Structure 1
Amino acid sequence: MSKTNAKNESSREKSVAEEGPFGKYNPPIDVSFVRAVDDDMSTNILPKTPGETVENNRWLDSYSENLGINVTYDWTVKGGYADDTYKQKMNLTLSSGDLPDVIKVDATTLKQLAQSGEIEDLTEVWNEYASDFAKETYAGEGDSVLNSAKVDGKLMAIPEMDSSLESAQYIWIRKDWLDKLGLDAPTTMQELLKISEAFTTGDPDGNGEDDTYGLALTKDFYSGWGGSEGFFAGYHAYPNIWVEKDGKLQYGSVQPEVKTALSALADMYKKGEIDKEFGIKEGSIVAEMVASGKVGIDFGEQWNPMYPLISNYNNDENANWISYPLVSIDDEQAKVPLKFRTQLYYAVRKGFDYPEVPVKMANQFLETNWGEDSEFGYYYMPQEIDNVGVWKFSPVTPHQATKNLDVFNAIEEARKNGTQSELEGEAKVVNDNVEGFLAGDKVQWGWEKIYGIEGAFKKMQGYQENGLLLYDSFVGAPTETMVEKRATLEKMEKEVFIKIIMGEAPIDDFDKFVEDYYKLGGENITKEVNDWKDSL
């Protein structure tokens, strides 16, 4: 008898669970998982939680006590779920046929398992067992999160929901440089271009040397900091995501608006507003330029004050980085492109008697951290142990799409009402950090830049209220041609775009890139993406 069959046999004495999304199993059931143990867990969380281990901790106790679910691990590996170590161990597990009861996989592996008939269809399980709060949470990005786990129209896993809102970019600008040069904050792309030029030629650091740049860019090109997506958006160009156009899904990087934005970046590069070597520089090297006060504009996500901008502040307390909303080249407002962030999924091996387990665990994880009776301060980020993320002890960790924005909204409301002392959970933790900076704790600088009165999430409010959020339209598993060709196509895209910006290729090479993209697999990919859309 194979191990998989043995698992099936061992579960024949079925436990009976109470009804509902939080129904407890009696007698308790053992449920096997596998997991990665990242550096944060090894070097930060475990040292600050003596007596707890990956296999024995507050979250596993909670699942046992409240749901009658005893979590076990068939194996653990050091590193993250995207690391080769986890993927290699996972491949060995898949080839052996000895799957754990619940298996955490990426979209490609999920599709393979579904098509080979090795995992359960969870469509009805979700409908029956998901709590109202879980359903509300998973609908935070419309249908996209659940759709990402569908294969041939069936829900084949529970997504480990992550927030696409967090991929929104802002224009981070050194306000102290604006003030020194007598410039106002930008409201149009034309004004931003003038600011970039002034930051390059106007000696904003006052050292009498020509050694500053307007815009930070890295060789990664599409990046959470020093990225380009927010700049492209100012020209109504949305590379690196799929957009709906004329009723069909189209790849944003091959749309004509991209050519216009590339031309503008090439002009900035020619004027010396972008580092001449950006095309070969890692983000860490460009971060050193930021730290030393040589760059004044950064298109990046809300967390940029935590890295790398705080390094500039640590070296120069006058460095006042402020977030501004994306600007447009014309009267049409710039949309804010959002890359789909949910990347991992909880699948259930075929034949497991309790396929609803990951749904119930997701229910409890969400309710415990953000529900009406939240115990955030014990189960998510306890303040008494430096706010370490003990939530990682849980093998199931979906997050709300609007979690951080909700925190900002709660803090803002408390500021208006004078009720900050009544804040609870994550809002209290974050507000304490913001207030700490205002009281003189310079370590908390980043928190104020993100959650302060005019922090990044104040701009996110505006994005949302004005209907400017543009979600990635393709959220499915990589298509057959994507698996074969995407790496080559993405490499070609970055190489061509960077060469155009650096003046090593003419702007009309963009048109050749579009032709080559479709010839080398893009045409098939576009068809497959639209077939996926039609299957929903």
Structure 2
Amino acid sequence: MKAKLLFMAVAISVVLSGCGSSNNSNNSSEEPAGSKNEQTQTNTSGSTNSGDDLAYEKSAEPVTLSIGFKIPDDKLINGDTNDNNVASRYFESLTNIKVVHSWEAKGDDPFKQKVNLAIASNDLPDAMVVDRNQLRKLIDNDMLEDLTDTYEKYGSKLVKDIYASTKGMALEDATSDGKLYGLPNVAIEADAPALLWVRQDWLDKLKLPAPKTIDDLEKIAQAFVEQDPDGNGKPDTVGLEGDKQVVFGQKPNPNGFDSIFSSYHAFPKNWIKDASGNIVYGSTTPENKEALAKLADWYKRGLIDKQFALYKETQEPIVANKTGLFFGPWWMPYWPLADSVTNDTKAEWKAYAVPSDAAGKFVTHMAPVTDRYIVVRKGYEHPEAAVKMLNVFTRYERRQDPNTAEVKKLDDYAAQTGVHIRNYYPFDLLLDYSDAVVKRYNDVQKALKGEVDPATFDPDTKQVYDFTVLEKENPKKNMDAWKPAKAYELGGSILANEPMEKVFSVFYGMTRTMETKWVTLEKLENETYLKIIVGDLPVSAFDDFVAQWKKLGGDQITKEVTEIVNDK
């Protein structure tokens, strides 16, 4: 289930946080059907096109691109197959690039195993998606094509603008010795902070002020437990919700305690630098002990839901409206809050960037800017094929494809069959602007104030604007409108307006010792944290955990991480 939740988080972010502002320069890539874009499709290989004319140019001769493909759960119809379907045929018609599947695998783990086997046997398809550690192995063994010049020549303006939104970090992450070896995905920056979500109607009923500090959060949790905020005369509401994962460490989901730890300047599951500048594993620093002590005290006093570690589905108490206090990212109105409001239309939720640290600042860890990459095997004759495929499916995904009639056919097909077109892109890798959520929120607010014309928006921003207007006119009457309207109104506004101290991990990869020791060390960490919180272990067990972690390989891993970071 956890993998499913993580997938949902990524999917929601990618689907609903598209390409940013109305005056973003990427809009210049839009062209009407039948214009210059269509004409360049018949250009010969000897053309002198450049920029987007070249990026979207149809190859004069057919090109074959073999890939490794992750099989989706969708059920195709009319005899379509994984490598011959409405999406693949459309992208081939645009590019004259025929994608064939060297192999297929269903699910993340089987796909990863297939990639590892391809690397070990030196039998790579022409292109495939790899993770950070696989990229490093391929580079170290000189198995990849240098894409530096190919990307510069064939990359579309849209793709380049999206990478530029990361301030160069995405491409840098795929670069070694000055050479670009992969085309990375881009994480949505807004997905990393864990905000505090509060039943505002309960808060108002009990006449409690908006929370700011750890102490405020404690008082609200106690009131929600003791003062019958739902007014049913029964002691059936709980305080702060939790998840047996305790912290997520990068991109949060509902009920993690990440922001509690961050308020103590503890960053578990991240590699950070201590006060002396030494690289340390964030789960082992003394600040974690303070956070664990606070959480253990709250749990003992009943301020944290006593059942939090036992729920089969972490969202159960939220959906059932038994809690009014939990942590989660900006997109919580999509899920699970839409279900909460459906079950109780009186429910009014609000997001807060709390708790603050001792200096009054909201501190949050951030996620890696990228973690997957399209790579091309060394020696493949047409590396531009991978870049061109990224160009066309990114343009379609970001709703900037000018071929209106064909796009409508794909949209209609998806609506009629339930098949997600993105699952049949040649590569399972999506691009969006890193600041997409904040850009969209700001644009919608300007339109609501009459400062900009919403007709000038890109399709994604226009849709959020339309849903926001619909929700304002008919509150809670259309949940399809309520979800994006509230996600941006509540979560997006916090991200756009609240100052945050953002802490990035200095290392996200896997070292040699981690490959054999990390599973054991993670299990030790997760179990220790959970047991301390629920009282199965004393807070002093944290010191024993740190000593054991170091002995079981942590010290060696820290040494390896330090060497890698210092060699950058």
The counterpart of 2:501, out of the listed 444, 449, 468, is 468
Whole-Å separation in 1 of the counterparts to 2:177 and 2:311 = 42
> Is 1:109 equivalent to 2:129 in the alignment?
no
> Is 1:199 equivalent to 2:224 in the alignment?
yes
Alpha-carbon RMSD: 3.1
Instruction: Tell me what 2:362 maps to.
Output: 334
Whole-Å separation in 1 of the counterparts to 2:471 and 2:413 = 18
Whole-Å separation in 1 of the counterparts to 2:413 and 2:350 = 30
Whole-Å separation in 1 of the counterparts to 2:413 and 2:62 = 32
Taking a change above 3 Å as real, the CA distance of residues 305 and 238 of structure 1, as seen in their structure-2 partners, is same
- Mapping for residues 444-463 of structure 1, pairs under 5 Å: 444-452=481-489, 455-463=490-498
Whole-Å separation in 2 of the counterparts to 1:151 and 1:488 = 31
Whole-Å separation in 1 of the counterparts to 2:405 and 2:215 = 46
CA offset digits 1:457-476 (Å, max 9, x no partner) = 1111124xx3533333323x
Residue type at the aligned position of 1:270:
K
Whole-Å separation in 2 of the counterparts to 1:436 and 1:53 = 39
Contact 1:235 1:334 in 2 (8 A): no
> Is 1:278 equivalent to 2:308 in the alignment?
yes
Q: How many residues align?
A: 507
Aligned-pair CA distance for 1:226:
0.7
SS at match of 2:324: strand
5+ residue gaps, structure 2: 1-43
Contact 2:399 2:458 in 1 (8 A): no
Whole-Å separation in 1 of the counterparts to 2:370 and 2:447 = 31
The counterpart of 1:483, out of the listed 505, 510, 515, is 515
Whole-Å separation in 2 of the counterparts to 1:124 and 1:179 = 59
Contact 1:219 1:279 in 2 (8 A): yes
Instruction: Tell me what 2:159 maps to.
Output: 134
The counterpart of 2:426, out of the listed 392, 395, 401, is 395
Instruction: Tell me what 2:184 maps to.
Output: 159
Whole-Å separation in 2 of the counterparts to 1:341 and 1:382 = 29
Residue type at the aligned position of 1:473:
V
The counterpart of 2:560, out of the listed 520, 528, 532, is 528
Contact 1:149 1:158 in 2 (8 A): yes
SS at match of 2:203: helix
Instruction: Tell me what 2:235 maps to.
Output: 210
Q: Which moved more, 1:384-393 or 1:337-346?
A: 384-393
CA offset digits 1:459-500 (Å, max 9, x no partner) = 11124xx3533333323x311122122221111111111121
Contact 1:375 1:425 in 2 (8 A): no
Q: Which moved more, 1:247-256 or 1:481-490?
A: 247-256
SS at match of 1:447: helix
Q: Which moved more, 1:381-390 or 1:124-133?
A: 381-390
Taking a change above 3 Å as real, the CA distance of residues 424 and 119 of structure 1, as seen in their structure-2 partners, is closer
Aligned-pair CA distance for 1:97:
4.2
Contact 1:33 1:71 in 2 (8 A): yes
Aligned-pair CA distance for 1:129:
4.0
Instruction: Tell me what 2:25 maps to.
Output: none
Whole-Å separation in 2 of the counterparts to 1:374 and 1:472 = 39
Taking a change above 3 Å as real, the CA distance of residues 208 and 136 of structure 1, as seen in their structure-2 partners, is same
Aligned-pair CA distance for 1:177:
0.9
> Is 1:254 equivalent to 2:284 in the alignment?
yes
The counterpart of 1:353, out of the listed 359, 364, 381, is 381
Residue type at the aligned position of 2:222:
E
Instruction: Tell me what 2:259 maps to.
Output: 230
5+ residue gaps, structure 1: 1-13
Whole-Å separation in 1 of the counterparts to 2:543 and 2:353 = 30
Instruction: Tell me what 1:10 maps to.
Output: none
Instruction: Tell me what 1:7 maps to.
Output: none
TM-score, structure 1 as length reference: 0.85
Residue type at the aligned position of 2:497:
G
Instruction: Tell me what 1:433 maps to.
Output: 467
> Is 1:406 equivalent to 2:428 in the alignment?
no
Aligned-pair CA distance for 1:172:
0.7
Residue type at the aligned position of 1:448:
A
Instruction: Tell me what 1:149 maps to.
Output: 174
Q: Which moved more, 1:58-67 or 1:256-265?
A: 58-67
Taking a change above 3 Å as real, the CA distance of residues 379 and 409 of structure 1, as seen in their structure-2 partners, is farther
Taking a change above 3 Å as real, the CA distance of residues 273 and 375 of structure 1, as seen in their structure-2 partners, is farther
Aligned-pair CA distance for 1:33:
1.3
Whole-Å separation in 2 of the counterparts to 1:229 and 1:430 = 29
The counterpart of 2:391, out of the listed 357, 360, 363, is 363
Taking a change above 3 Å as real, the CA distance of residues 128 and 517 of structure 1, as seen in their structure-2 partners, is farther
Contact 1:158 1:346 in 2 (8 A): yes
Aligned-pair CA distance for 1:265:
0.7
The counterpart of 1:184, out of the listed 199, 206, 209, is 209
Q: Which moved more, 1:212-221 or 1:101-110?
A: 101-110
Instruction: Tell me what 2:528 maps to.
Output: 496
Taking a change above 3 Å as real, the CA distance of residues 377 and 292 of structure 1, as seen in their structure-2 partners, is farther
> Is 1:168 equivalent to 2:193 in the alignment?
yes
- Identity between Structure 1 and Structure 2 (%): 33
Taking a change above 3 Å as real, the CA distance of residues 159 and 241 of structure 1, as seen in their structure-2 partners, is same
Whole-Å separation in 2 of the counterparts to 1:496 and 1:194 = 27
> Is 1:35 equivalent to 2:79 in the alignment?
no
Residue type at the aligned position of 1:447:
P
Whole-Å separation in 1 of the counterparts to 2:407 and 2:525 = 43
Instruction: Tell me what 1:5 maps to.
Output: none
Contact 1:18 1:25 in 2 (8 A): no
Taking a change above 3 Å as real, the CA distance of residues 345 and 280 of structure 1, as seen in their structure-2 partners, is same
